[in-house]
Amino acid sequence: GFIGRHLVKYLMDKKLASKIRVADKALPQTAYLSKEFKAYFADKAVEHKQANLSNPSHVKRAFKDDAKYDWVINCAAETRIGQDENQYKQMVLNISVNCAKEAAAHGCEKYIEFSTARCYAAGKKSSKE
């Protein structure tokens, strides 16, 4: 998605990672990447795994190898407005929980979760975590 591709660009530009694994439902060839972003995803330091992270077996496949991950940054979340509770649970909560568990099982040092702000009620009053 938008945030993930910009995160890859940032990590590459700043030389903050020697290897980046991207897990996404869409292949880079079908993700409407600009020429600039296609170059980042074609770099040998970036590996793509096609995976629907709402499916636990796909999460395991995304982590499949004996690699140790220093950082896992999860940008996966369904951001459509008006999801019912079951859709939210499957496409936001379960993705987060399944990815975090798998990251921990692989000895991940830092797990960062990006999500949607739409989980907060509308209004000017501050929300509490």
The span from the CA of 31 to the CA of 71, in Å, is 24
Partner residues linked to 112 by β-bridges:
73
Alpha helix ranges (H) inside 2-120: 2-13, 35-42, 56-62, 85-88, 94-105
Q: Is the pTM of this model over 0.85?
A: no
DSSP code of 91? Answer: I
Encode pLDDT of 81-112 as tens digits. 677 777 777 777 888 899 999 999 999 999 99
